[in-house]
Amino acid sequence: MSKRAAHPMRFGWAMLAMAITAPLWAHHSAAGYDLTKTLSAQATLKEFRWGAPHSAAVFTIKGPDGKPEDMTVACGSPAMFVKQGFMPKDFQIGDKMEITWHPAISGHLGGMLASAKVPNGRVFKDVEFAPGLTPSDVLKQADTAK
């Protein structure tokens, strides 16, 4: 008798757990972003959504034609912001910032935030998807930018 047949309930629960968690693992992927490219712009914060599993921001930047365009970027988790000393109050609507982001592979305007320099000069850097950097490297860089 196979082990699977001997423990059908355990096997069933394991399969259910994998089915439930698979979308969560897929959600935390950077597959939709080109991590080999980093774009930058002067931006005005239009909206900031602090939340788990990750935050998001809408910035207004100058488009190629010189007209303002809104751009949505995925951001780090609240835990990532807090570890770098940032809280929701540090992101105020209308704040002017220098931002960098990894563009969406689809070609639409937006992507994944790589860094944001807030008005007081502090810099948030994405630790989770920073190519070639360890989390401690990024936190050291954030400390020197304070």
Query: What values do phi and psi take at 93, rounded to 5?
Result: -55, 135
Question: To the nearest 5 percent, what fractions of the chain are helix, strand and coil?
Answer: 30, 30, 40
Share the mean pLDDT of the chain.
Answer: 80
Percent of the chain whose pLDDT exceeds 70: 66
- Domain-wise residue ranges, the chain: 1-30, 39-145
In this predicted model, what pLDDT tens digit does every residue of 102-130 receive, in sequence order? 999 998 999 999 999 999 999 999 876 55
Tokens of 136: 């401690």
CB 84 within 8 A of CB 125: yes
The radius of gyration of the chain's CA atoms, rounded to the nearest angstrom, is 19
In this predicted model, what pLDDT tens digit does every residue of 57-83 receive, in sequence order? 999 999 989 999 999 999 988 999 999
Stated pTM of the model: 0.70
pLDDT value, residue 31: 75
In this predicted model, what pLDDT tens digit does every residue of 28-44 receive, in sequence order? 566 788 888 999 999 99
53 preceded by cis ω (within 30°)?
Answer: yes
CB atoms within 10 A of CB 126: 25
DSSP assigned state of 109: S
Return the amino acid letter for 131: P
CA separation, residue 91 to residues 20, 30, 94 (Å)? 34, 24, 9
Residue the block writes with tokens 């995925």: 74
DSSP assigned state of 59: E
Residue the block writes with tokens 């059908």: 8
Q: Give the max Cα distance, the chain.
A: 71
Cβ-proximal residues to 31 (8 Å cutoff; 6+ apart), any chain: 105
CATH code for 39-145?
A: 2.40.50
